[in-house]
Amino acid sequence: MRGYGSTLGLYQHGQGFLYRTPLSLKAVASLACAVAVVTWRSPSTTAITLTVTLCALLIGAHLSPLRILRMLAPAAPMLAILALYQGLAQGWLRAFTVVGGITACLLAARAVTLTTPMQSLLDGVVRLVRPFRVVGADPERFALALSIMLRSIPYLAGLFMDVREAARARGLERNARVAVTPLVIGAVAYAHRTGEALAARGLGEHDGDRDRGMDPHDPGA
Amino acid sequence: MIEFRAAEVRSDDDQRMLLQPLTLTLSERRVSIIGANGSGKSTLLRLINGLRTPSAGSVAVFGRDTRTDARAVRQSVGFVFTDPLSQLVMPTGREDVELSLRARKLPTAERLRRGEEVLGRFGIQHLADRSIYDLSGGERQVLALAVVLAVEPRVLVADEPTTLLDLRNDALVRALIAGLDQQVVFTTHNLDFALESERTLVIDDGRIVFDGPPPDAVARYRALAGRSADAPGLDRTNGP
């Protein structure tokens, strides 16, 4: 299995002011970008948000333009179809507004995950979810579930590429069943392995369960 | 101290006996388990930290039953898988070590400090921010050990920890395990590794056929393997 962490994945160690910016500020800025794009749907809003996010990644995270383009590659087919549809149906200015706005939001969200270590991200999620404790939510479990979900995206992308290459090597790339079946089985096996790994490490347990646990340093335990 | 009290394991469909009733106490610091593929080694190991519960009988670690106190037992028993990629769930080593420490509910600064300390103790700080997919097999296994030992369990259970490694990394992981303070129970196909333990169990077809000093155990296993080689076809029908 190859790793796709650098293409789709999460934190990348690096330099730049975005790495030193508090998570809360980055999250608010990312949210503001999405709100602006949705609230003021105009080419100028799109142009401004796109410029700001691009500058943030270029200057704030020291990324090259090529690297930014590669980050968008997985979403490129969907964006291209959307742009074509919007362009033909409602005009190219409208297509720029919609697709440019989505791209700005994607880049803004990516700027947050790219420059924030996973554990800091989880701490932020735990803080965010903490008020929901009163209705029975467990912030640590919520954060763990979110991190596993984020972690699974690049893994499954890698699995898809491996399966496709294996099918191609056997001359079966046009057979959808050959491509999909190993992907589904691989995904289920991955879920099973991850669950077992978490269980083996005692992660994702309720607080009450943990409180009942024995102290590993207690010789009398 | 690990106690098996008439612990047996049947397959999910209840048709096959994966592990025959087993009663023994493991108190030595290093215990190895050897046997053919599919003989029940991994099943036995999984009983120790409650990943698998016995179909009948019981298993206790430091007096805690793995069925009724499974979560408590897992906090005291670290488990190392054969393939470290099955174990590492975060994109980088540093994040995975910190994930382990999250279970201890430490303040962020303390968690970061202890994470650095663990990485330093295993000499893998330079690998901490690399993708786990960019690491060699040996580096991954050392990282997997660090991840499990970050929470300082009292017992380490390792399922063929050197099987996927080349000779150099095999020696590295064995040296690391030899230097641990914890009680270690491991399965292996490497008979030299088994000889480094204080007690060896030989398991065949779900049954402990020898329990004693490693040299004698290895001799017994070689004799068993020789007999199996003389028989035509595969001699195992049950899974791990």
| Dihedral pair phi/psi, residue B185, rounded to 5° | -120, 125
Distance CA A7, CA A73 (A): 8
In Å, what is the CA distance from A110 to each residue of A27, A105, A188, A196? 11, 8, 27, 30
CA B190 to chain A, closest CA, distance in angstroms equals 24
Contacting residues of A for B75, CB less than 8 Å apart: 202, 210, 213-214, 216
Number of domains within chain A: 2
pLDDT at B136 over 90: no
Helix (H, G, I), strand (E, B) or coil at B236: coil
Confidence bin at B210 (pLDDT 50/70/90): very high
**What CATH number corresponds to the domain at position B75?**
3.40.50.300
Strand order in the sheet with B2-10: B17-26, B2-10, B56-61, B64-65
Is residue B187 assigned to a domain? yes
Shared domain check, A136 and A108 = no
Which pLDDT tens digit goes with each residue over B35-81?
Answer: 999 899 999 999 998 889 999 999 999 999 999 988 888 889 999 98
Shared domain check, A200 and A137 = yes
Shared domain check, A197 and A167 = yes
Contacting residues of B for A151, CB less than 8 Å apart: 89-91
Check residue B205 and give left, alpha or beta (phi > 0: left; psi -120 to 50: alpha).
left
| Domain interval for residue A143 | 130-211
Contacting residues of A for B155, CB less than 8 Å apart: none
Kindly indicate whether the ipTM for this predicted assembly is greater than 0.90, answering yes or no.
no
Determine what percent of chain A is predicted with pLDDT higher than 90. Answer: 36
Distance CA B182, CA B159 (A): 16
In single-letter form, the type of residue at position B14 comes to D
Is residue B235 assigned to a domain? no
Is residue A21 assigned to a domain? yes
Contacting residues of B for A10, CB less than 8 Å apart: 91
Nearest chain A residue to B135 by CA distance is A3
Is residue B237 assigned to a domain? no
Is residue B185 assigned to a domain? yes
Shared domain check, A104 and A172 = no
Q: Which of A6, A15, A194, A214 to mutate to test the interface with B (most CBs of B within 10 A)?
A: A214
Shared domain check, A139 and A111 = no
Cα torsion through B186, B187, B190, B193, rounded to 10: 20
| Domain interval for residue B24 | 2-230
The domain boundary, picked from A116, A145, A172, lies at: A116
- B101 within 8 A of B66, measured Cβ to Cβ: no
| Dihedral pair phi/psi, residue A164, rounded to 5° | -65, -40
Is residue B238 assigned to a domain? no
A119–B92: do the CB atoms touch at under 8 Å? no
Contacting residues of A for B161, CB less than 8 Å apart: none
Distance between first and last Cα of chain B: 24
Which pLDDT tens digit goes with each residue over A107-148?
Answer: 999 899 889 887 788 888 888 888 888 888 788 788 888 878
Q: Quote the tokens at residue B98.
A: 């910190």
User: Across the A/B interface, how many CB contacts are shorter than 8 Å?
Assistant: 109
Shared domain check, A155 and A103 = no
Is residue A7 assigned to a domain? no
Shared domain check, A181 and A135 = yes
Is residue B7 assigned to a domain? yes
pTM score, whole prediction: 0.74
- B34 within 8 A of B217, measured Cβ to Cβ: yes
What is the torsional sign of CA B236, B237, B239, B240?
negative
Q: What is the mean pLDDT of chain A?
A: 82
pLDDT at A67 over 70: yes
Shared domain check, A21 and A92 = yes
Number of domains within chain B: 1
The domain boundary, picked from A93, A116, A139, lies at: A116
Determine what percent of chain B is predicted with pLDDT higher than 90. Answer: 48
Smallest Cβ distance to A216: which of B76, B89, B92?
B76
Check residue B9 and give left, alpha or beta (phi > 0: left; psi -120 to 50: alpha).
beta
Is residue B190 assigned to a domain? yes
Distance CA B184, CA B216 (A): 20
Cα B141 to the chain's mean position, in Å?
Answer: 12
CA A44 to chain B, closest CA, distance in angstroms equals 38
Is residue B236 assigned to a domain? no
